[in-house]
Amino acid sequence: MDASDHFKFMQESLKYGEVALNHDEVPVAAILVDNSTKKILYRAHNMTNITLNGTAHAEFRIYDYLKRTFPKDHLQMWQNCTLYVTVEPCIIFGGNGSVFDIRYKSNIKLVPGVGHREAISLLRRFYIRENERSPQNINKKKRTLKLDEFPQFRYSQFITLQEFIDIWGKEYQQIYAENDFLQFGEDGKLKLPCETVTNKKRLKT
């Protein structure tokens, strides 16, 4: 996968997140792409409300799909695919975060930060709604939807500077150093820091 592919498929994931939002699900979506053909093998979004199953997360549903479709080769399939998720998969789910140091002891290659603001916007649009299924329904009428302020994205929590450069190129290393947003043009190419002008506020965290 090259840099423009990451943008393209994250856009597809975000679009599917909209589908989840329209079905009153937490708008987290995932797409599985074959690295050799660059074709989408499967799409999934959270279905915890529809199924009344707390484990029906987008990435889990893709895993279930692979296991059902390729019962003997599903683990090998992961090595030939790229998973695009609008929100980082739940490492802590089932207590795994206390057992596995996945971020730093893994051979999984990460491309973090693509669609950062768009994914947060989806979540904010969901959580400002009233949730009739919640056992402790909270009145949210006084809450305001903020779509102009976003937290910094700390790339160093996921990849090293060299890994960032290997993905995007040395000319973009300032984005990593300043925890700035990845911004793309209509052609799907990452904009240089000197080319980006944004009205979106960045919150220091």
Q: Establish if 157 belongs to a structural domain.
A: no
Specify which residues 151 forms β-bridges with: 203
Q: Establish if 56 belongs to a structural domain.
A: yes
Q: Establish if 152 belongs to a structural domain.
A: no
Claim: this prediction has a pTM higher than 0.85: no
Mean pLDDT of 155-181: 95
For 69-109, what is each residue's pLDDT tens digit?
Answer: 999 998 889 989 999 999 987 665 555 555 555 555 567 88
Q: Establish if 24 belongs to a structural domain.
A: yes
**pLDDT at 44 exceeding the cut of 90:** yes
**Domain CATH for 66:** 3.40.140.10
The rounded distance, in Å, linking the Cα atoms of 93 and 58 is 13
For 106-135, what is each residue's pLDDT tens digit?
Answer: 678 899 999 999 999 999 999 887 555 555
Q: How many domains does the chain have?
A: 1
Residue ranges of the alpha helices (H) in the chain?
3-22, 48-51, 58-69, 74-79, 116-127, 161-168, 173-177
**pLDDT at 142 exceeding the cut of 70:** no
Q: Establish if 195 belongs to a structural domain.
A: no
Binning pLDDT at 50, 70 and 90, where does residue 55 land? confident
Q: Establish if 50 belongs to a structural domain.
A: yes
Mean pLDDT of 148-168: 91
Contacts of 42 (CB under 8 A, 6+ apart): 31, 32, 62, 65, 66
- The percentage of residues in the chain with a pLDDT greater than 90, rounded to a whole number, is 60
Q: Establish if 80 belongs to a structural domain.
A: yes
**pLDDT at 205 exceeding the cut of 50:** no
Mean pLDDT of 190-194: 88
What is residue 202's three-state secondary structure? strand
Sign of CA dihedral 79, 122, 164, 1: positive
User: And the tokens for 19?
Assistant: 């589908």
pLDDT for residue 112: 94
Q: Which residues of 161-183 are buried (b: 16+ CB within 10 A; e: fewer)?
A: eebbeebbeeebeebbeebbbbb
Closest CA to 17 of 8, 27, 32, 26: 27
Maximum alpha-carbon separation in the chain: 52
Comparison of pLDDT for 128 and 67, the residue scoring more: 67
pLDDT for residue 183: 93
Contact between residue 121 and residue 20 where contact means Cβ atoms under 8 Å apart: no
The rounded distance, in Å, linking the Cα atoms of 10 and 85 is 7
H/E stretch holding 111? none
Domain range enclosing 14:
3-132
pLDDT for residue 137: 55
Q: Establish if 127 belongs to a structural domain.
A: yes
**pLDDT at 170 exceeding the cut of 70:** yes
Contacts of 82 (CB under 8 A, 6+ apart): 1, 9, 32, 33, 35
Contacts of 175 (CB under 8 A, 6+ apart): 155, 164, 168, 181, 182, 193
Q: Amino acid identity, residue 149? A: E
